[in-house]
C-alpha cells in the first residue's frame, strides 16, 4: 500500500470516528454543535470541560471514543508525516541521483527549454545516440521528461554549470522568447568560448543579434516549417526521401558529416587518389572547407585537407569506413 493510500484510509477512518462520536453524543441528548465540540475535544485529547454532565452510559461511550479516536488520530498524523517525509526524501534522492548522472556525462547536448521545439530536438538527438540534458524552469513540464534534467532558469550560470555545460559538446537555446535565448547564448558563450551553440529565434530581425551574442547557428522554426511544406508541394518525392534518410530510419542509407583530421591517411590527397568510394562504398556528395564554402559534387581532382568536412551518403558500415579513413 502506498503512502497516499494510507493517508486516504486514515482520513476516512478519522472522519468516520468524528461522525460516529457526534451521532453518539446527539443520542445522549447533546445538541449537534455541542456533540461535535465534545467529539473533537475528546478525540484530540484537548481536555476541556464536558459540555454537560455525563451519566454512566455517556462515560462508557466517551472512554471508548477516546481509545478509538486517539488511535485513529495518531495513525492519521503518522500517515501524513510519512507521506511528507517520503515525498521529500524521494525528491532529494532523485535530485542527487540526477546530479550524479549528469556529472558522469561528457560530449552531451544541453537543450534549454522543454516546449514543443525542445522536445523534438531532444528526441531526435537522443535517437541518434546523443546524450541529452534538458533545462527548464517549469517543474510541471519536466515531470514527464525522460532525459536527465535541471530545474532552473537557463540564463543562470549556476544552472548551466549544473547541466554540465563545461563538458558539453553543444547547447541548444530553445526557450520560447528571443530575449531569453539571447541571455542563454551570452551566458553559455561566456562559460564555454568553444561550445557549439544553436539558438531558436521567432522574430527575423533578432537573428543578427543572436549571432553577435555568440550563437553559431540561428534557426527560425516557422521559416523552416514553411520551407518544408513548400518543398512537399514543389518536390514531394525529394522532400520525403530526405526526411526518410535524415529522420525515419526505415532505409539503410544515412547522410553524415565527417571531418578530415591531421592524422587522416587521405589528407593531402585528391578524391581520385584517396579512392574513398572504392575503399568504403560511401558517396561524397559535398565538401565544406574551413572557410565555410560548400563544394557540391566535388570533382575527382579535389584535394582533401585537414578541416574539410565531408558530406556523404551510405550505409552505417560504409560511413564508418569513411569515418576511419577521414581519421575520426
| Contacts with 190 (C-beta within 8 Å, 6 or more apart), sequence order | 157
Tell me: do 157 and 58 sit in the same domain: no
Cα 193 to Cα 133, 243, 297, 326, distances in angstroms: 19, 33, 34, 26
* Residue 281 forms part of a structural domain: yes
pLDDT digits (tens, 9 = 90+) for 154-181: 999 999 999 999 999 999 999 999 999 9
- CA-closest candidate to residue 44, choices 11, 12, 18: 18
> Is the Cα dihedral 85, 86, 88, 89 positive or negative?
positive
Please, is 151 exposed, middle or buried when counting C-beta atoms within 10 Å of its C-beta (0-12, 13-18, 19+)?
middle
| Contacts with 132 (C-beta within 8 Å, 6 or more apart), sequence order | 108, 109, 110, 111, 122, 125, 126, 147, 148
pLDDT digits (tens, 9 = 90+) for 266-294: 888 898 888 888 888 888 999 999 888 99
* Residue 68 forms part of a structural domain: yes
CATH number at residue 209: 3.40.50.720
3-state helix, strand, coil in the chain (%, to 5): 55, 15, 30
* Residue 245 forms part of a structural domain: no
The domain boundary residue, chosen from 101, 132, 160? 101
How many CA atoms does the CB half-sphere of 208 hold within 13 Å?
1
pLDDT digits (tens, 9 = 90+) for 190-202: 999 999 999 999 9
Neighbours of 38 (CB within 10 A): 27
Domain count for the chain: 3
* Residue 236 forms part of a structural domain: no
pLDDT of residue 48: 67
> Is the Cα dihedral 195, 199, 205, 206 positive or negative?
negative
Supply the range of the domain harboring residue 95. Answer: 3-101
Neighbours of 192 (CB within 10 A): 17
Tell me: do 142 and 126 sit in the same domain: yes
pLDDT of residue 57: 85
* Residue 73 forms part of a structural domain: yes
Tell me: do 84 and 118 sit in the same domain: no
* Residue 266 forms part of a structural domain: yes
Write out the three cell numbers for 53.
454532565
Tell me: do 163 and 198 sit in the same domain: yes
* Residue 8 forms part of a structural domain: yes
Answer whether 160's CB lies under 8 Å from 113's CB. Answer: no
pLDDT digits (tens, 9 = 90+) for 28-58: 888 888 888 888 888 887 766 777 788 888 8
pLDDT of residue 78: 83
Tell me: do 27 and 77 sit in the same domain: yes
Amino acid at each position: 500500500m502506498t503512502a497516499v493510500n494510507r493517508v486516504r484510509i486514515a482520513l476516512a477512518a478519522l472522519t468516520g470516528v468524528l461522525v460516529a462520536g457526534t451521532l453518539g453524543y446527539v443520542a445522549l441528548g447533546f445538541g449537534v454543535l455541542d456533540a461535535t465540540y465534545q467529539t473533537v475535544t475528546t478525540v484530540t485529547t484537548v481536555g476541556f470541560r464536558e459540555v454537560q454532565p455525563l451519566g454512566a452510559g455517556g462515560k462508557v461511550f466517551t472512554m471508548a471514543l477516546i481509545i478509538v479516536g486517539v488511535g485513529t488520530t495518531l495513525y492519521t498524523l503518522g500517515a501524513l508525516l510519512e507521506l511528507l517525509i517520503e515525498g521529500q526524501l524521494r525528491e532529494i534522492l532523485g535530485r542527487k541521483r540526477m546530479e550524479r548522472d549528469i556529472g558522469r556525462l561528457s560530449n552531451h547536448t544541453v537543450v534549454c527549454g522543454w516546449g514543443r521545439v525542445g522536445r523534438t530536438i531532444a528526441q531526435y538527438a537522443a535517437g541518434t545516440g546523443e546524450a541529452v540534458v534538458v533545462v527548464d524552469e517549469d517543474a510541471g513540464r519536466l515531470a514527464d521528461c525522460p532525459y536527465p534534467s535541471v530545474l532552473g532558469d537557463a540564463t543562470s550560470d549556476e544552472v548551466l554549470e549544473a547541466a554540465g555545460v563545461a563538458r558539453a559538446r553543444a547547447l541548444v537555446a530553445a526557450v520560447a522568447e528571443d530575449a531569453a535565448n539571447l541571455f542563454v547564448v551570452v551566458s553559455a558563450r561566456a562559460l564555454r568560448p568553444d561550445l557549439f551553440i544553436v539558438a531558436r529565434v521567432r522574430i527575423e530581425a533578432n537573428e543578427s543579434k543572436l549571432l553577435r551574442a555568440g550563437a553559431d547557428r540561428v534557426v527560425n522554426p516557422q521559416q523552416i516549417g514553411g520551407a518544408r511544406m513548400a518543398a512537399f508541394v514543389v518536390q514531394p518525392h525529394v522532400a520525403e526521401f530526405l526526411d526518410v534518410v535524415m529522420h525515419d530510419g526505415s532505409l539503410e542509407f544515412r547522410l553524415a558529416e565527417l571531418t578530415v583530421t591531421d592524422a587522416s591517411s587521405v589528407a593531402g590527397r585528391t578524391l581520385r587518389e584517396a579512392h574513398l568510394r572504392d575503399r568504403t562504398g560511401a558517396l561524397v556528395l559535398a565538401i565544406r572547407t574551413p572557410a565555410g564554402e560548400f563544394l557540391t559534387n566535388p570533382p575527382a581532382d579535389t584535394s582533401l585537407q585537414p578541416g574539410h568536412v565531408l558530406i556523404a551518403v551510405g550505409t552505417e558500415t560504409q560511413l564508418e569506413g569513411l569515418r576511419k579513413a577521414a581519421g575520426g
